[in-house]
Amino acid sequence: MKHLIAPSVLSADFANLQNDIQMINRSEADWFHVDIMDGVFVPNISFGFPVLKAIQKYAAKPLDVHLMIVNPDRYLSEFKNAGAGNITVHIEACDHLHRTINAIKELGCKAGVALNPHTPVTLLEDILEDIDLVCLMSVNPGFGGQKFIENTYKKIRTLRTMAYGRNDSLLIEIDGGVSTNNAMKLIQAGANVLVAGNAVFSAQDPFLEIFELKNLNPGLMGS
Ligand code: DX5
Ligand code: ZN
């Protein structure tokens, strides 16, 4: 499959959100990546349901909701009602991950598990068949515009090998510091969903930046 691009709304212009949403609608992006931060699991607060519902109103593509919150179980159905197509929870925030994953799937959403940079992918060994997506954090979660952590390549390769023959359609999403400089290398390692916030919204032409991330040209890429 061709890789998917999920621009992160966190870096959008919140005073002009409708503009940025419509730009993403017109672009080659596949999903809207929506970061929910509670100020407890991560040292930052982003936004909640009123903003999410406003995004849902205009977004013409699936919402990929990344929950950086403690106790996500409490809010799963509310996120579904606010338009989530995918719901990703952090393994570090879930005591009963299997139960949480099942609850997400029962709502009719794709179930994702996010791992912080220090969390080994081998912790997914006994839940690999049950999940649709793994979000590998390639920065410490909480903020956009941080530097990509190089150890992520190793994690992608290990996870892709683990999933081989067990969950071949597993989506491996990379979140943090993704740009046209590392996108090709991430895909080659086995990733198939790229989140990009800063790279898209700080570009002179965000629409073109999405096009370039989607249509990677090996001749023009960095390593
Ligand atoms: C970080 C968020 C990311 C963030 C990525 O905690 O989960 O989705 O928006 O932003 P960039 O692409 O700017 O690193
Ligand atoms: Zn995210």
Report all structural domains of the chain as residue ranges with CATH numbers, in order of start.
4-214 (3.20.20.70)
Token pair 């999933």 is found at: 163
Residue nearest to atom 6 of ligand 1 (CA): 141
pLDDT over 70 (residue 221): no
Average pLDDT over all residues of the chain: 97
Share of the chain above pLDDT 70, in %: 97
For 168, the token pair is 């071949």
Q: Which residues line ligand 1 (CB under 6 A)?
A: 8, 10-11, 33, 35, 66, 139, 141-142, 144-146, 175-178, 195-199
CA 63 – ligand 2 centroid, Å? 12
Of the residues 20, 30, 35, 64, which is catalytic?
35
Q: pLDDT grade, residue 223 (50/70/90)?
A: very low
pLDDT at 151: 98
Q: Is the distance from CB of 199 to CB of 179 less than 8 angstroms?
A: yes
Residues in the chain: 223
- Give the pLDDT mean for 193-221: 91
Q: Is the distance from CB of 69 to CB of 48 less than 8 angstroms?
A: no
Q: How far apart are CA 67 and CA 75, in angstroms?
A: 10
Active-site annotation holds for 175: yes
pLDDT over 60 (residue 220): no
pLDDT over 70 (residue 171): yes
Q: pLDDT grade, residue 1 (50/70/90)?
A: confident
CA 163 – ligand 2 centroid, Å? 22
Residues with CB under 5 A from ligand 2 (ion): 35, 66, 175
Entry pTM: 0.97
Active-site annotation holds for 35: yes
Report CA dihedral (26, 8, 86, 57) to the nearest 10 degrees: -50
For 21, the token pair is 């949403």
- Give the pLDDT mean for 99-111: 98
pLDDT over 50 (residue 104): yes
Q: How far apart are CA 166 and CA 169, in angstroms?
A: 9
CA 173 – ligand 2 centroid, Å? 10
Share of the chain above pLDDT 90, in %: 96
pLDDT at 219: 55
Tell me which amino acid residue 59 is: A
Cα 96 from chain centroid (whole Å): 21
Tell me the pLDDT tens digit for each residue of 123-158: 999 999 999 999 999 999 999 999 999 999 999 999
pLDDT at 48: 97
Tell me the pLDDT tens digit for each residue of 34-92: 999 999 999 999 999 999 999 999 999 999 999 999 999 999 999 999 999 999 999 99
Q: How far apart are CA 127 and CA 184, in angstroms?
A: 28
pLDDT over 80 (residue 217): no
CA 165 – ligand 1 centroid, Å? 30
